[in-house]
């Protein structure tokens, strides 16, 4: 096989053009268009080295998708409130890095509905639309609220979780055949069922804090030749060299005829990416 790229893996870069998702592999300093490789046999060879995404030091184990343990315990982007934004503690004066928090958390966030393995609610920075939807493998997405901070988006998401799931079933997502939904109908149903809770949040944050959106639904088509009937996960820690025919790309997964691999899980792993 021919080595096309080598270095530390990063999350695949994505772009939505005319409703179709386009992917680039990011490996070290190289960016490799992946859609063009559909149908070809590819390989990934893991050298055994992991370099921290932040400080660059070698680590035997990756934490929070690419960090060494010291960075994992100190960096604000690795704090528990990143996964559970409703637990933001900036106002308590205990943010790991207030300057980072002001830049990252105090910007416009979007609350959205998506159809990835069925309906789900999610949040993202406004600058990450539609990247976030592609990363989750959503075939449909609809922005429903605009808020001013990550805390506010997390509190709203937590409220909606009583009615709508907030996680994607990745196995179902990778099997394809996701039934289409009327997300605007689902949005109206969600607002109606959460009316009391939304009113309480408006009292807490201000009447203009939760801005309801009348946005258009976004549909996303993925570069997939064939979806797997059975989803089998490939693991670079157990099998440092994997190969197979590239049948598709969805979310942050490569779909091979030998199994599927979540490239984002292996952020900071040093690899060679090859193709016949």
Helix (H) / strand (E) containing 33: strand 30-33
Under 8 Å between Cβ of 144 and 214: no
187 and 247: one domain? Answer: no
Instruction: Please give the Cα distance from 12 to 32 (Å, whole number).
Output: 10
Q: Considering the domain boundaries, does residue 153 fall inside one?
A: yes
198 and 173: one domain? Answer: yes
Q: Considering the domain boundaries, does residue 79 fall inside one?
A: no
209 and 122: one domain? Answer: yes
Instruction: Please give the Cα distance from 237 to 240 (Å, whole number).
Output: 6
- What is the rounded radius of gyration, in angstroms, for the C-alpha atoms of the chain? 20
Instruction: Please give the Cα distance from 123 to 129 (Å, whole number).
Output: 10
Which of 203, 219, 235 terminates a domain? The answer is: 219
Under 8 Å between Cβ of 252 and 10: no
User: What pLDDT, on a 0 to 100 scale, did the predictor assign at position 255?
Assistant: 98
Which of 219, 236, 266 terminates a domain? The answer is: 219
135 and 200: one domain? Answer: yes
* 62-107 confidence digits (pLDDT tens): 999 999 999 999 999 999 999 999 999 999 999 999 999 999 999 9
Domain count, the chain: 2
115 and 196: one domain? Answer: yes
Max distance between CA atoms of the chain, in angstroms, equals 61
Report the sign of the C-alpha dihedral through residues 122, 268, 62, 55, in that order. negative
User: What pLDDT, on a 0 to 100 scale, did the predictor assign at position 112?
Assistant: 98
119 and 209: one domain? Answer: yes
DSSP secondary structure code for residue 178 in this structure: P
Q: Considering the domain boundaries, does residue 158 fall inside one?
A: yes
127 and 168: one domain? Answer: yes
- pLDDT beneath 70: ranges in the chain: none
Under 8 Å between Cβ of 130 and 97: no
Domain enclosing residue 257, as ranges: 2-63+223-275
Which of 219, 237, 256 terminates a domain? The answer is: 219
244 and 170: one domain? Answer: no
Under 8 Å between Cβ of 40 and 257: no
> Within 10 Å of residue 190's Cβ, how many Cβ atoms?
21
Report the sign of the C-alpha dihedral through residues 161, 221, 169, 51, in that order. negative
149 and 199: one domain? Answer: yes
């Amino acid at each position: 096989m021919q080595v096309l790229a080598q270095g530390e893996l990063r999350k695949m870069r994505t772009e939505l053009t005319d409703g179709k998702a386009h992917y680039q592999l990011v490996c070290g300093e190289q960016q490799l268009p992946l859609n063009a490789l559909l149908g070809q046999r590819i390989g990934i060879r893991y050298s055994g080295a992991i370099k921290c995404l932040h400080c660059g030091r070698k680590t035997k184990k990756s934490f929070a998708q690419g960090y060494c343990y010291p960075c994992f315990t100190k960096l604000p982007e690795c704090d528990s409130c990143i996964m559970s934004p409703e637990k933001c503690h900036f106002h308590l004066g205990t943010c790991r890095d207030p300057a980072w928090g002001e830049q990252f958390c105090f910007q416009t966030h979007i609350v959205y509905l998506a159809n990835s393995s069925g309906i789900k609610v999610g949040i993202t920075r406004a600058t990450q639309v539609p990247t976030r939807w592609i990363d989750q493998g959503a075939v449909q997405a609809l922005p429903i609220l605009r808020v001013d901070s990550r805390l506010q988006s997390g509190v709203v998401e937590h409220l909606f979780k009583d009615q709508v799931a907030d996680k994607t079933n990745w196995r179902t997502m990778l099997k394809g055949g996701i039934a289409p939904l009327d997300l605007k109908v689902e949005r109206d149903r969600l607002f109606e069922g959460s009316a009391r809770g939304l009113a309480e949040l408006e009292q807490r944050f201000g009447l203009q804090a939760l801005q309801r959106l009348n946005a258009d639904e976004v549909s996303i088509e993925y570069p997939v030749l064939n979806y797997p009937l059975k989803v089998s996960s490939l693991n670079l820690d157990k099998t440092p060299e994997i190969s197979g025919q590239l049948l598709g790309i969805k979310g942050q997964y490569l779909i091979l005829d030998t199994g599927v691999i979540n490239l984002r899980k292996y952020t900071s792993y040093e690899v060679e990416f090859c193709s016949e």
